[in-house]
Structure 1
Amino acid sequence: MALKLATPSSASVPPPRLALLSEWPRAAWGLGRLIAQWKTLDDVPKGDGRPVILLPGLVNSDRSNFVMRRYLQRLGYRAEGWQLGRNLGVRAIGQDGERLMARIAALHAETGQKVTLIGVSLGGIMARIAAHRHPELVREVITISSPFAGPPTCTNVWRPFEVLTGEKIGDPAVSARLEEAAKPLPVPATSIWSRSDGLVNGLICREPEGAEGRAIEVSSSHLWVQMKPEVLRAVAQVLGQSGSPAR
């Protein structure tokens, strides 16, 4: 979409108003591109049947990841939703994340393989926390527009987060989870991020320069970012480079 957007000059501020106001038209444009390119997205490595769980963003459910799930299944992965309803923070996963951990453990036990976690926005933060706590269950983590590397005030969604989850960003428990998510992961990690994101500062959606985690920059809105053709291809390319199944 030919639209000039101001972008944050540092990782300490939220996205500017122009980027925020452009979210819906850019998201709609991306959906149109997906429809036009859907049948051409198979020029990537094919899947090997490994288990993958997709984690949705704030207030979203598995329906928001339907396109990516179908795409990865078409390539040959066992891609599944998280099956925990809408993502309302700890209301969805439990105070200590026990519901999410149980979901990952169940798929690991069923398949005999470590599970790849792909999280969108808040779902990516949760995926990183899960990998820290149970690296023996997690093969790798891919985050998409997930603001794990900076404070919530560098986003335009921290107030809705407080209303929807019932938590305050200044709560010690919230701060502790964010600090945990920001630490380098004990498993392979990839962050897909956009400098022109209108809801979260793209610069806090990746690990710092020099970190071991891989970062892939795209040009995208935050809304429906997981439906962008370039994001789908990037996820497939990362999965295709991951080697033989991990058990």
Structure 2
Amino acid sequence: MVLDRLQAGLARWHDRVPSHARIGNGFLAPPPPPKALAASEVPRVAWMLATRWRHAAALAAVPQGRGGAVMILPGLFDADGSSVVLRRFLGGIGYRAEGWGLGRNLGVKSVGAEAERLIARVEALHAEAGPVTLVGVSLGGIMARLVAHRRPELVARVVTVSSPYAGSGRATNVWRAFEWATGERVDDPAVIARSEAIAAPLPVPCTAIWSPRDGFVNGFICHDPSAESVEVNSGHLGVHIHPEVLIAVARALAGDSVVQDR
């Protein structure tokens, strides 16, 4: 009985796309994912790791890279160690995949109040290898969009992965952790103004990879009509190593048509 009710509730959550989760009528806050969905994150990532072998053929068939530099921006609390799998995967198909080199992602504490430390890292990589593709996971994707808005001449493309850039931090189950780690408040007017600027259409190509079954952030604020979007079946934990995400990132970098929202 309990399992049936949980499954029915999650089905309703997946099928209901809140109109206020979309950009267009202001920067509003749809509800965060259900607590039951958040609680399922750990078992789902364990299942994903146990069944990765099923995606071996699809991973081997991704488009080979066209070269160029790719910088991976980690999620909240994560550092470059979290992107080893993704960087090795992209390196194996022909890209120069780099970490961001700024330690753990603690928001402005890591990148600077105006993202100046992150922009300096992108500038340095650009000087060596030309325009940089930024692949940002969760909070890292929000930062990638900020860099692309402020210095578009440095950026070839932005790929966001489960990044809740298109709505309020209150639409997540991790906003308190964000406030604790960064020292910023999600309802601070300056933070809201910056978030609205980040959510504006980018001056460079953008692909947003998102999941309606994300237990930490409302998946519907992880994409918007101005970006190519790819829906995957993933939770939030381990999303950067999920086979569907690796495939989607490879296709986006290769310039393939990736619009797959179901």
TM-score by length of 1: 0.91
Please tell me the root mean square deviation across aligned C-alpha atoms, in Å: 1.7
Instruction: Give the whole-Å Cα distance in 2 for the aligned partners of 1:143 and 1:153.
Output: 19
Q: Which one of 237, 243, 247 corresponds to residue 223 of structure 1?
A: 237
Q: Distance in 1 between matches of 2:53 and 2:240?
A: 14
172-181 or 86-95, which deviates more: 172-181
- Quote the Cα distance in structure 2 between the aligned partners of 1:206 and 1:54: 19
Paired residue secondary structure (1:128): helix
Provide the residue aligned with 2:76 in structure 1. Answer: 58
Does the 8 Å contact 1:121/1:143 carry over to 2? Answer: yes
- Count of matched residue positions in the alignment of Structure 1 and Structure 2: 237
- In structure 1, the partner of 2:151 is 134
Superposition deviation, residue 64 in structure 1:
1.1
Would the alpha carbon gap of residues 194 and 40 (structure 1) be closer, same or farther in structure 2, given more than 3 Å must change?
closer
Partner deviation per Cα, 1:75-125 (whole Å, 9 max, x = no partner): 0100000010000000000111000000000000011x1000000000000
Of residues 113, 128, 132, the one that matches 1:115 is 132
Contact in 1 for aligned 2:58/2:247 (Cα 8 Å): no
Correspondences of 1:142-221 after superposition (within 5 Å): 142-208=159-225, 211=226, 213-221=227-235
Equivalent residue number for residue 245 of structure 1? none
Equivalent position SS for 2:246: helix
Report what 1:79 is aligned to. 97
Please state which structure has a larger fraction of its residues in helix.
2
Q: Does the 8 Å CA contact 1:42/1:75 hold for their aligned counterparts?
A: no
Q: Among residues 221, 235, 243, which one is paired with 2:249 in the alignment?
A: 235
- Unpaired runs of 5+ residues, structure 2, are 1-5, 22-29, 257-262
Residue 47 (1) aligns with residue 61 (2)? no
Per-residue deviation, residues 43-88 of structure 1 (Å, max 9, x unmatched): 0111122000000000111111111111000001000000100000
Higher relative contact order (CA closer than 8 Å, sequence separation 6+): 1
Q: 1 CA distance for matches of 2:240 and 2:51?
A: 13
User: SS of 2:104's equivalent?
Assistant: coil
How far is 1:40 from its partner? Answer: 5.5
Alpha-carbon distance, 1:37 to partner: 3.8
Q: Write the distance in 2 (CA, Å) between the matches of 1:44 and 1:15.
A: 31
Q: Report the AA paired with residue 187 of structure 1.
A: V
Letter in 2 for 1:42: A
Q: Give the whole-Å Cα distance in 1 for the aligned partners of 2:95 and 2:68.
A: 5
Q: Secondary structure at the match of 1:92?
A: helix
